Amino acid sequence: MDLAFTSARSAVTAKGVVLELIHRYKYQRALWLEPFLAGLLIRQALPVLSSQKWDVLAPVPLFPARQRQREFNQAERLAKNLSQATHIPVESRLLRRNRPTPSQTRLSRFQRADNVRNAFNVNPRFHIEGHHVLLVDDVFTTGATTNACARALKKAGAAQVAVWTLARGI
């Protein structure tokens, strides 16, 4: 897979109790876990991001029907927390998921890449030509989703795209 992002960093490894907490937060709407989970991300990302120049944080979007079902987008909420700590503005509407995609959880690396190919686009109201965009998501497993997002951002003219996630899959 050709990567469209320059780097991908994660705060923690997605295993054990942390993975269980992320799943409760994401699938059981355990929003009371958010300060703890966002704190893990901020603690690792803040020292790195404070010495870098980023124009905008872009959370990985959910398809509207999935967001209505879940009632929130965990990537957006994590990005807003990270934005408060770093003072990098977050733009939740920059990226759009233009079609529903099945859950990636049971798919192989190649199936994941195929599943999200061309599933994202940049909202035409935003001009990101030459911008440095930091993608934010909850879990990085194979990088297929973040890579599809980064491709859309680069196609729209972003100068650089990097990724920060709460956890890295093993």
pLDDT in tens, 41-66: 999 999 999 999 999 999 999 998 88
For residue 160, give Cα distances in angstroms to 22, 42, 43, 110: 28, 21, 23, 25
95, part of any domain: yes
37, part of any domain: yes
Provide mean pLDDT across the span 116-120.
87
For residue 93, the SS3 value is: coil
3, part of any domain: no
Which range of residues forms the domain containing residue 64? 8-168
1, part of any domain: no
45, part of any domain: yes
2, part of any domain: no
- Residue 6 is which amino acid? T
Residue 134's domain is classified under what CATH number?
3.40.50.2020
The C-alpha atoms of residue 140 and residue 156 are separated, in whole angstroms, by: 23
Q: Any idea which of 87-91, 118-122, 151-155 has the lowest mean pLDDT? A: 118-122
Q: Which two tokens stand for residue 20?
A: 């269980």
65, part of any domain: yes
CA angle at 99 for the pair 27 and 156, rounded to the nearest 5°: 110
Per-residue confidence band for 1, with pLDDT thresholds at 50, 70 and 90: low
Say yes or no to pLDDT of 112 above 70.
Answer: yes
Say yes or no to pLDDT of 23 above 70.
Answer: yes
22, part of any domain: yes
The C-alpha atoms of residue 79 and residue 138 are separated, in whole angstroms, by: 9
Number of domains in the chain: 1
Exposure class string for 138-164: b at 16+ Cβ within 10 A, else e: bbbbbbbbbbbbbbbbbebebebbbbb
Residue in the block written with tokens 């990097």? 162
